[in-house]
Amino acid sequence: MDLLARLKEDIIVADGGFGAIVLSRGLAPEECEESWNLTHPKDIEEIHRDFIEAGAELVTTNTFKANRRLLAKHGLGDKVEEVNRAAVEAARRAAAPKGAFVVGCIGPIGELLEPYGDLTAEAARELFREPAMALARAGADALFLETFMAIEEAEIAVKAAKETGLPVVASMAFQASGATMMGVGPEQAAARLSAAGAEVVGANCGVGPVELFPIMEKMKASYAGLTIAQPNAGMPRLIEGKTVFPEKPETMGEYAKKFRNLGINIIGGCCGNRPEHIRAIAKALRGGTP
């Protein structure tokens, strides 16, 4: 069953955050976590497996910054195909035993589009298209464009991803104010992302479940299509020089039920959400680990 067919029948429990876990396994400050797809594939596979064993029915590949421009900063600009393919393969090895979906992750480029910056729309489209095609060729079930703040960049990413023929999930990062850093509201985000071709739209990162819930309420009030919610494990705090996400797994589980009752179709976590948080979400939504 493909992703969209499954979503027409039931909700899907997604995975959690990847970055902090890779750091805890020894990622060096000068490394990008995507490089571990090539150098530490067993670690990447184990992280995916931990989320799946906790109850995740969908995992996102370790490819958030796996575009040519960002990889080039780490000497990997000519390894776009290899990095993305290795990520899908690691995720698929972990997902296969339980039939979890493998969704190819694509994040923002990290530069402003013209006229606010130097990045042209044409250059941005190719920077998104290249990893999207690589993820599709490697066998991803769908593409997940996440953590966008500018709607224009997100629209370009969606259109590039649609060239693969895979289902596209597009998600933006909202602030506690109710809008993204670039001033995009949830109603506008849903309308423009879906118009660009995304089959699932929603929000991830930025805020915790408490702050994200009213944002998703507004989105659902204006949009009847498929949606996704992946909040952080609370609002980050700096404690003794370290970024800490304070939300307990039980709270993530409590809000998972609220998101489900709101009509959200894919429910998971972003930064700070470890397997124990996903276990709580799966328990709340499924009554235990599937």
Considering Cα of 262, then 264, then 268, then 272, what sign does the dihedral take?
Answer: negative
Tens-digit pLDDT string for the chain (290 aa): 699 999 999 999 999 999 889 999 999 988 999 999 999 999 999 999 999 999 999 999 999 999 999 999 999 999 999 999 999 999 999 999 999 999 999 999 989 999 889 999 999 999 999 999 999 999 999 999 999 999 999 999 999 999 999 999 999 999 999 999 999 999 999 999 999 999 999 999 999 999 999 999 999 999 999 999 999 998 878 777 777 888 999 999 999 999 999 999 999 999 999 999 999 999 999 985 43
Q: What is the pLDDT of residue 1?
A: 67
> What are the residues facing 59 on neighbouring strands?
102
Q: What is the pLDDT of residue 240?
A: 74
Domain coordinates in residue numbering, the chain: 3-285
Q: What is the pLDDT of residue 211?
A: 97
Residue with tokens 């909202």: 174
Q: How far is CA 109 from CA 24, 212, 271, in A?
A: 25, 24, 19
What is d(CA 83, CA 24) in angstroms, rounded to the nearest whole number? Answer: 21
How many residues appear in the chain?
290
| CATH classification code of 3-285 | 3.20.20.330
Kindly give, in sequence order, each residue whose CB lies less than 8 Å from that of residue 51, ignoring residues fewer than 6 positions away: 15, 16, 59, 275, 278
Compute the half-sphere exposure of residue 28: CA atoms within 13 Å on the CB side of its CA. 6
Q: What is the pLDDT of residue 289?
A: 43
Considering Cα of 81, then 87, then 90, then 94, what sign does the dihedral take?
Answer: negative
The structure's pTM equals 0.95
